[in-house]
Amino acid sequence: MEQSKVGVFISDCGKQLSEIIDFDALTNFIKTVPEIALIARGSEFWRGNGLQAIIDAIKSGKINRVVVAESITKISDVNIAQAVQDAGLNPYLVEVIDIKDHCAWPHRAMPREATEKAKAMILSAIERAKLLEPIEKLEFPALKSALVIGAGIAGMQTAVDLADLGFEVNLIEKAPFLGGLSARVGRFFPTDDCAICIQPPASDVKTITHTSRKCVYRSGFSEIPNLNILTNSTVIAVEGVPGNYKVTLETKPRYVIADRCVACDKCVEVCPVETPDEYNANLTNRKAIYMNVPAVHPQVYVIDEDACKFHECAKCVSICPSNAIDLNQKTEQVTLNVGSIVIATGFREFDSSKIKEYHYDEYPDVITNLELARMIDGFGPTGGEIIRPSDGQPAKKIVFIQCAGSRDRRYSPYCSSICCMISLKNASLIKETNPDAEVYICYIDIRTTGREHEYYYERARELGIKFVKGRPTEVYNDEDKGKLIVDVEDALLHRFLDLEADLVVLATALIPAEGTQELAELLGIELEADGFFKEYNSKLRPTETKQRGIFLCGGATFPRDAPNASLHAHSAAMKATKFMTSGKIVKDLRTAEVNDEYCGDCEFCPVTCPYGAISLQPTSEGHFVARVNDLLCEGCGVCVGTCPLNAIELKHSKPNQMTAQMNALLSINGTSKPLVLAFCCQECGHTAVDSSGMAKMEYPANIRIIKVPCAGIVQVNQILEAFKAGAQGVMIVGCKSDGCHYEVGSIKAEKKIDLAKVLLKEYGIEPERLEIFRMVYIEGKQFAEAAKMMTERVTKLSQIKLMGDS
Amino acid sequence: MSNNNSETIENVSFSEEVTCRHGGETLTACYQCGTCASSCPVARLDSRFNPREVIKLALLGEKDELMSGDSIWLCTSCFNCQERCPQNVEIAELIYALRNIAIQAGNSPTIYADFGSALVDEGRIVQISKFVEKKREEYGLPPLKPVNLETINKILHATAFTKPEKKEASQ
């Protein structure tokens, strides 16, 4: 390796630091350190002339390692790294430390001690800089094409967005027609407009620009040249890497040739087969060749394979005026190459028959909200009439039961979040067309949290809908009266009601779509405990998954109403665009690497890695070694902390670098107090140190900070080394256990501390010299207090005597 | 009646007193949906008892009202409520826990004190009458075995069972 020539740039932050720290003493000290090629003092080095001085020194070839002692490192880091790269040096050969917030300000009451600590900090940075190695970037091409799975409202909106932005988009739908749940529910709240309205493409091929929303069939959606729509299709295999996936689809035959069908309905008229219409809640029959409702997309009939008699009958074939029917079509497989995948598979109603006491599968007049929506739809099986499915008579008394399966620990423990509004919508639509109907809603809590939703609830009361606060225990069938009886306590009246009903409507729990689990396995992405797809981070990275290149939107992540699904869809399109738009994937390689010689057969790191980035690969010698997927690795080092054989390390935080830093930090004390080393995670722990300094909170100067990527990287032997190197106390400062930026790091660290304490006891070192703290950025005060507490604690103990010490 | 002999927990809310007791653990899961109330055969007939209200009172810490009233003694332990509770609140168990607290505080209906005395003295809650013995014979059931009072008292002793005191106000 090339001899290191370290340039040290120390900033006095506009002379404010030199009032506390003795900069001459500091400079003289640095001069004594080997391999220093340049020492520069200035007011600031993260911008302007100071930054130029760094660039010039690199360009002149005088230095090949950069140490900067500055303030507000979180901002200056980025500027300095960029400048260093522009000057022609690898940006990872830089070490920036904060001598203001981590030294001068918190120790301003003891300038001499602050100066000594500053020496230790700079020495540590220099020793680390000497050992730094260049880190490259991973770069490979990404295809500018996407696959959107599921053509409900979310999938369609994402597809339009991506197509508008110029990507090649493949939109696939499992059903023979587009629209998903949104097509079946008929109307949307709170505006009561048609569910199947979408925002049409921004730039129309025919130079007509649509601005108002349109029904899918007239939106021009299907005519977007770079949007390929495939119905009756599912994903059966996925290979490849983010940016270049090879997806195999299976498309079931429609038996009707789309390019020829003229939607004349003649085939439907002659078809002799009648079969229950599942789409319409089995309330009516349809033919074996059919369209769900007239205004669907595509405007092409489909043949129901299970019902059709095919060549035995073939009446449709002979009557079709355009020769569109082909009974010999076969299932086809297609392979697509796409850069990214968006999952928009939605949600469905839970199987209400599991709630035995509501007798959903026994009493035909107990139905679900979705089934009711089909009745309300003018295109539906009853032409908009609300009937009792048992006898077809008009339903005059209708009782809704909320939370049928939701907020229920036996079925779906979560609130499905939109069922209150769905029931209010359906109840209001009934009341509006049929004011004489008696409508009750039995509820636990009415949740109307969206814009206009409370108004919607108000209107429902104005319409005369009656509300009963209570969850019914059972639905009975009173055969004499020919009515259902809903047994409920109205908690507000303290009264037991037996509500008579022609129709009982269950606001069923809303659960992940069928096949969610299988699709997750196929794509290698995670699910939440409730079975929905897991978003990377609901606050900062919604619609993303841990697999770069795979995105989520709509009800696939949680039950959503249309405005939310739409919002989510646009977000997913934005994320996919960000990912594909440059045509390449760039990822820095601050990742883990495995030393094959030491690695052997255990499964600790693949199991621990929160990103699924590590897998075991067979070697030619008949055992397994760990392999890191650089694209998935986030460089946290939890694997490093887990490996029992020290066979895995981070390129940007190697054990020798950490040891050198540690030794340097502990080589100078300069205070009357015993030294305490604090391993601070670069996320919450280190920023809590920042914020305590920024807020000028004071703590003793014997506290030495070593920044690590995550608390989870710290190894037990490193803790022991720290004591050996002279630390009298060791602090681990990480994120809160449920707020760890790398998910499991903080929890893993805690377990390791427990183990280390046992070992310390064995070695005759008091276990209380070691402690873990968890805090967030705003808890600077907690850091200062923890630092004081640890100092007091170890001051009371006598100096550690290690074996071999005289 | 004072609480002198019972283990009163200082500075702990009543709902915590209930949740740390066996059977009372699930109290705070209740969100007052009322499924228990509409499931309850007693509540329909007797307005003094409503399982939803018992839980609400426990959550609100209305200890005196629960301990002195009749309500918790009216549950027949049919378990309908517990079977249907969407939050898995163990309602019937919870009512046992409340009864235990009440008995420790010396609040129990006379009949329970009588049961307790009978158990200690005779090894049975209810005396077996000649009528019962005759009926058993008629139905082909074997005669009841004599009670081993010594064994029963050993069990009662090991489980710290003492004769419940009679509630003074009760009849």
- Chain B neighbors of A473, CB-CB under 8 A: 35, 38-39, 80, 84
**DSSP assignments along A15-45, one per residue:** TTTTTTS-HHHHHHHHHTSTTEEEEEEES-S
User: Which three-class secondary structure state does DSSP give residue B119?
Assistant: helix
Domain boundaries A1-135, corresponding CATH code: 3.40.50
Helix, strand, coil in percent for chain A, rounding step 5: 30, 25, 45
Q: For A11-32, what is each residue's pLDDT tens digit? A: 999 999 999 999 999 999 999 9
pTM equals 0.87
CATH architecture of A145-250+341-345+513-584: 3-Layer(bba) Sandwich (3.50)
- Chain A neighbors of B91, CB-CB under 8 A: none
- The answer regarding whether domain A389-508 maps to CATH 3.50.50.60 reads yes
Please choose, from the candidates A661, A664, A673, A668, the residue with its C-alpha nearest in 3D space to the C-alpha of residue A708. Answer: A661
Please give the residue of chain A at the shortest CA–CA distance from B52: A491
Angle at A592 between CA A590 and CA A594, to 5 degrees: 145
CA distance B44 to chain A (A): 7
In A623-701, where do the E strands start and end? 624-628, 648-650, 676-681
Residue A472 to residue B39, Cβ atoms within 8 A: no
Q: What is the bridge-based pairing of β-strands A703-708 and A676-681?
A: parallel
Paired tokens of A791: 């100092």
The CA distance from A513 to A560, in Å, is 13
Residue A474 to residue B34, Cβ atoms within 8 A: no
Contacts across the A-B interface (CB distance below 8 Å): 59
Please give the residue of chain B at the shortest CA–CA distance from A474: B39
Is any Cβ of chain A less than 8 angstroms from the Cβ of B28?
Answer: no
Three-state SS string across A122-185, please? HHHHHHHHHHCCCCCEEEEECCCEEEEECCCHHHHHHHHHHHHCCCEEEEECCCCCCCHHHHHH
The CA distance from A551 to A627, in Å, is 25
The CA distance from A516 to A538, in Å, is 19
Is any Cβ of chain B less than 8 angstroms from the Cβ of A354?
Answer: no
For residue A295, the model assigns a pLDDT of: 79
**Would you say the CATH fold of A389-508 matches that of A145-250+341-345+513-584?**
yes
Q: What is the bridge-based pairing of β-strands A168-172 and A145-149?
A: parallel
Sorted by where each starts, the structural domains of chain B and their CATH numbers stand as 14-104 (1.10.1060.10), 110-158 (no CATH)
Nearest to A491 among B29, B32, B86 (CB): B32
Is any Cβ of chain B less than 8 angstroms from the Cβ of A496?
Answer: yes
Q: Name which CATH class applies to A671-798.
A: alpha beta
For residue A3, the model assigns a pLDDT of: 86
For residue B163, the model assigns a pLDDT of: 66
Q: For A161-211, what is each residue's pLDDT tens digit? A: 999 999 999 999 999 999 999 889 988 888 888 877 777 776 555 545 566
In A564-684, where do the E strands start and end? 584-588, 592-594, 614-618, 624-628, 648-650, 676-681
CA distance B96 to chain A (A): 22
- Chain A neighbors of B37, CB-CB under 8 A: 470, 489, 491, 496
In A29-185, where do the E strands start and end? 36-42, 65-70, 94-98, 137-141, 145-149, 168-172
For residue A540, the model assigns a pLDDT of: 87
What is the DSSP secondary structure assignment for residue A388, as one 8-state letter?
-
For residue B170, the model assigns a pLDDT of: 40
| DSSP β-bridge partners for residue A335 | A248
- Chain B neighbors of A355, CB-CB under 8 A: none
Please choose, from the candidates A692, A681, A695, A699, the residue with its C-alpha nearest in 3D space to the C-alpha of residue A736. Answer: A681
For residue A755, the model assigns a pLDDT of: 93
CA distance A421 to chain B (A): 19
Paired tokens of A666: 């502990």
Contact A387, A395 (CB under 8 A): yes
Where chain A has pLDDT below 70, the residues are 1, 73-74, 202-211, 803-806
Q: For B30-66, what is each residue's pLDDT tens digit? A: 999 999 999 999 999 999 999 999 999 999 999 999 9
Mutate to test the interface with A, among B25, B33, B45 (most CBs of A within 10 A): B33
Average pLDDT in chain A:
93
For residue A90, the model assigns a pLDDT of: 96
Cα A18 to chain center, whole Å?
46
- Chain B neighbors of A356, CB-CB under 8 A: none
- Chain B neighbors of A409, CB-CB under 8 A: 29, 86-88
Nearest to A409 among B32, B37, B86 (CB): B86
Please choose, from the candidates A751, A760, A773, the residue with its C-alpha nearest in 3D space to the C-alpha of residue A724. Answer: A760
Q: For A614-647, what is each residue's pLDDT tens digit? A: 999 998 888 889 999 998 899 999 999 999 999 9
User: Which three-class secondary structure state does DSSP give residue A670?
Assistant: coil
Is any Cβ of chain B less than 8 angstroms from the Cβ of A409?
Answer: yes
- Domains of chain A, by residue range, sit at 1-135, 145-250+341-345+513-584, 266-330, 389-508, 589-646, 671-798
Per-residue pLDDT of chain B (171 residues), as tens digits, is 344 444 444 557 899 999 999 999 999 999 999 999 999 999 999 999 999 999 999 999 999 999 988 999 999 999 999 999 999 999 999 999 999 999 888 888 888 878 888 888 888 888 888 898 899 999 999 988 888 989 998 998 888 777 665 544 443
Contact A277, A286 (CB under 8 A): yes
Q: Name which CATH class applies to A589-646.
A: alpha beta
Paired tokens of A219: 């939106």
Residue A489 to residue B32, Cβ atoms within 8 A: no
Residue B52 to residue A489, Cβ atoms within 8 A: yes
Q: Looking at chain B from residue 30 to 59, which residues have their Cβ under 8 Å from any Cβ of chain A?
A: 31-35, 37-39, 43-44, 47, 50, 52
| DSSP β-bridge partners for residue A246 | A239, A337
Q: Looking at chain A from residue 415 to 474, which residues have their Cβ under 8 Å from any Cβ of chain B?
A: 444-445, 469-474
Paired tokens of A299: 């405007």
Burial zone of A16 (CB within 10 Å; 0-12 exposed, 13-18 middle, 19+ buried): middle
Q: What separation in angstroms does the CA of A128 have from each of A95, A675, A676?
A: 8, 20, 20
Residue B38 to residue A488, Cβ atoms within 8 A: yes
Nearest to B33 among A357, A409, A444 (CB): A444
Is any Cβ of chain A less than 8 angstroms from the Cβ of B86?
Answer: yes
The CA distance from A621 to A59, in Å, is 47
